[in-house]
């Protein structure tokens, strides 16, 4: 498997450029533009492992930093800056791998920002969105208000969610996914927001990540057909 290629791409003249990592396996049939969550950047072990497992299944990835992580800050940027970065990352992916069908999304906040960008204006060339732990609400405050914009997303969506996710009550997420057009919910029984498993489950985090990577790759294939 090829190593990650280090890149930088501009977001805007005012914001500047951010770093990215491209993994493109020889057999790549699609590329997933992969945004990180609020608390960790593109080199977090979950992001790295997910990218490697997708590459093993023929899906290239472009992981990228949001401006605040590029600067070493822990405070997320404004929604406008985050969604502008999503669009800039997609432009970078087209430049690097324009021959591959494009998909987008991310871990937690990164997935939500991608969906917000898509709801405001279609993401050019993107065939579907994949969410690794969609943050439906704050911990202990069940609500689906954060998902109101999803009805304006015009491409298929895949929600990969742990049943113990404190940021996504399945009693809310299941009916929400059922109401959305072309949305699928894949639940990992026993997984938390980061798909960590309890020892009592008898399953390792790595096994679960293999499962969700396989699901994501299979879902991409179904859309490509």
Radius of gyration of the chain (CA): 16
**DSSP states along 37-65:** -TTS-TTSHHHHHHHHHHHTTTEEEEEE-
Q: Which residue has the tokens 């493109």?
A: 24
Dihedral sign of CA atoms 72, 12, 62, 220 in order = positive
Domain formed by 5-224, architecture: 3-Layer(aba) Sandwich (3.40)
For residues 62-83, average pLDDT: 97
CB 84 within 8 A of CB 48: no
pTM here is: 0.96
For residues 40-57, average pLDDT: 96
Calpha distance 154→181 (Å, rounded): 8
For residues 170-199, average pLDDT: 94
Check residue 9 and give its pLDDT. 98
Give helix then strand counts, H and E, for the chain.
6, 8
Check residue 225 and give its pLDDT. 77
Percent of the chain with pLDDT over 70: 99
CB 8 within 8 A of CB 18: yes
Check residue 92 and give its pLDDT. 97
Check residue 1 and give its pLDDT. 56
What backbone torsions phi and psi does residue 42 show, to the nearest 5 degrees?
-70, -15
Question: What is the per-residue pLDDT across 211-224, written as a single tens digit (0 to 9) for each?
Answer: 999 999 999 999 98
Specify the 3-state DSSP secondary structure of 85.
helix
For residues 26-45, average pLDDT: 96
Calpha distance 143→88 (Å, rounded): 30
For the chain, the domains span: 5-224
């Amino acid at each position: 498997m090829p190593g990650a290629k280090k890149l930088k791409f501009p977001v805007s003249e005012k914001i500047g450029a951010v770093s990215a990592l491209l993994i493109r396996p020889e057999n790549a049939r699609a590329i997933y533009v992969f945004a990180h969550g609020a608390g960790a950047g593109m080199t977090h072990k979950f992001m790295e492992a997910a990218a490697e497992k997708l590459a093993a299944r023929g899906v290239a990835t472009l992981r990228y930093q949001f401006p605040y992580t590029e600067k070493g800050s822990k405070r997320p940027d404004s929604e406008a800056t985050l969604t502008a970065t999503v669009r800039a990352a997609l432009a970078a992916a087209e430049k690097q791998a324009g021959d591959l069908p494009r998909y987008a999304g991310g871990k937690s906040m990164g997935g939500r920002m991608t969906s917000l960008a898509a709801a405001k204006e279609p993401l050019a060339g993107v065939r579907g969105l994949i969410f690794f732990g969609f943050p439906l609400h704050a911990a202990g405050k069940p609500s689906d208000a954060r998902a109101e914009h999803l009805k304006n997303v015009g491409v298929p969506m895949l929600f990969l969610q742990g049943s113990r996710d404190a940021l996504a009550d399945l009693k809310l997420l299941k009916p929400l996914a059922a109401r959305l057009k072309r949305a699928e919910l894949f639940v990992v029984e026993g997984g938390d927001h980061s798909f960590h498993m309890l020892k009592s489950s008898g399953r390792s985090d790595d096994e679960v990540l293999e499962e969700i990577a396989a699901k994501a790759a299979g879902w991409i294939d179904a859309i490509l057909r």
